């Protein structure tokens, strides 16, 4: 710009002309405006810093809460999948030790210990019904496993009758009905087992099934009071006849007591 007094070139920020020494009024106004803007800027920056410092603790708390929720979600996800991973590991282990586990199951059947058989299968997640695996080393146990499961359920229900508590969550009628249903299921499975050809049952398996039937008859005679002659013909009866027989035997036992 030019000095208003002498016309020499001077800067907009020069307060005085370097040539004539006259004051530069425009420069004064410019500096005042610049100072005013600087003051406003400083105030704004101070206020922003104050508010930021005031909000930092809140932000940190929110960040900590968010991190905690994230960790909690991760824990839930890992916990929900942990059971599946463990189940898968146990099943794979059963496949890897098939020969060893099969020998243990064979021994349980030979000794007529259906309870030990079921417990071992449950503990090691042995899948005797696994579909699509006809070559599974455990498939041969599927019929005996059904018989053993029914027998164990019948035995467990019978134990609830001695002594029977009137405040039990199950009534006597429910217990007897459960025993009758599982007895019918046992004999239905036994009939299928003797005709089964997928895979065909070995002689050892058939003997184990027959032994388990003998144990079932003895259990019903001992705990429900079934007459031995009636127990011997259980296989010949229909489902309805078995149910009636068990109900009548238990009613008679209670009446004698």
> Could you give the angle at which helices 203-224 and 239-256 cross, rounded to 10 degrees?
40
Looking at residue 132, its pLDDT comes to: 47
Cβ neighbors of 109 (< 8 A, separation 6 or more) are 117, 144, 204, 205, 208
Mean of the per-residue pLDDT values of the chain: 79
Q: Note the pLDDT tens digit of each residue in 100-123.
A: 999 999 999 999 999 999 999 988
Q: What distance in Å separates the CA atoms of residue 220 and residue 207, rounded to the nearest whole number? A: 20
CA separation, residue 70 to residues 77, 80, 82 (Å): 11, 15, 18
Q: Name the residue with tokens 């046992």.
A: 186
% of residues, the chain, pLDDT over 90 = 37
- Residue 98 contacts residue 141 (beta carbons within 8 Å): no
At CA 157, angle to CA 207 and CA 118, rounded to 5?
45
DSSP assignment of 36-56 = HHHHHHHHHHHHHHHHHHHHH
Euclidean distance between CA atoms 200 and 204, whole angstroms? 11
Q: What is the SS3 assignment for 10?
A: coil
Residue 131 banded pLDDT, cuts 50, 70, 90: very low
CA distance 129 to 142: 6
The mean per-residue pLDDT over the stretch 218-242 comes to 94
Record the pTM. 0.65
Does the pLDDT at position 53 exceed 60?
no
* Among 133, 157, 150, CA closest to 223: 157
What are 190-207's pLDDT values in tens digits? Answer: 888 877 766 667 888 889
Confidence of residue 241 (pLDDT cuts 50, 70, 90): very high
pLDDT of residue 1: 54
Burial class of 31 by CB neighbour count within 10 A (0 to 12, 13 to 18, 19+): middle
Q: Which pLDDT value is given to residue 137?
A: 79
Q: Give the pLDDT score at 188.
A: 93
Nearest CA to 199 out of 124, 136, 148, 105 is that of 136
Dump pLDDT digits (tens) for 6-52: 555 556 556 666 555 666 666 566 566 656 656 655 656 666 556 55
Does the pLDDT at position 134 exceed 80?
A: no
Which tens digit of pLDDT belongs to each residue from 159-192? 888 766 666 677 888 999 999 999 999 999 988 8
Give the residue-averaged pLDDT of 130-146: 75
Q: Cα separation of 179 and 56, whole Å? A: 69
């Amino acid at each position: 710009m030019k000095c208003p007094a002498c016309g020499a070139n001077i800067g907009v920020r020069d307060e005085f002309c370097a040539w004539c020494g006259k004051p530069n009024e425009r420069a004064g106004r410019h500096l005042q405006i610049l100072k005013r803007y600087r003051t406003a800027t400083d105030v704004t920056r101070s206020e922003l810093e104050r508010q930021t410092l005031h909000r930092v603790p809140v932000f940190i708390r929110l960040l900590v809460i968010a991190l905690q929720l994230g960790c909690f979600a991760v824990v839930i996800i890992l916990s929900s999948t942990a059971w599946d991973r463990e189940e898968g590991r146990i099943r794979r282990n059963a496949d890897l030790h098939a020969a060893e586990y099969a020998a243990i199951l064979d021994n349980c059947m030979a000794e007529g210990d259906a309870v030990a058989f079921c417990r071992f299968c449950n503990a090691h997640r042995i899948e005797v019904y696994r579909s699509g695996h006809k070559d599974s080393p455990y498939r041969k146990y599927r019929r005996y496993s059904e018989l053993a499961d029914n027998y164990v359920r019948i035995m467990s229900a019978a134990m609830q009758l001695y002594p029977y508590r009137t405040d039990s969550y199950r009534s006597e009628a429910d217990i007897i009905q459960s025993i009758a249903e599982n007895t019918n299921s046992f004999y239905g499975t036994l009939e299928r087992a003797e005709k089964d050809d997928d895979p065909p049952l070995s002689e050892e398996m058939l003997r184990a099934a027959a032994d388990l039937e003998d144990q079932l008859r003895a259990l019903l005679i001992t705990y429900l009071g079934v007459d031995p002659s009636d127990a011997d013909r259980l296989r010949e009866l229909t489902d309805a006849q078995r149910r009636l027989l068990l109900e009548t035997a238990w009613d008679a036992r209670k009446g004698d007591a």
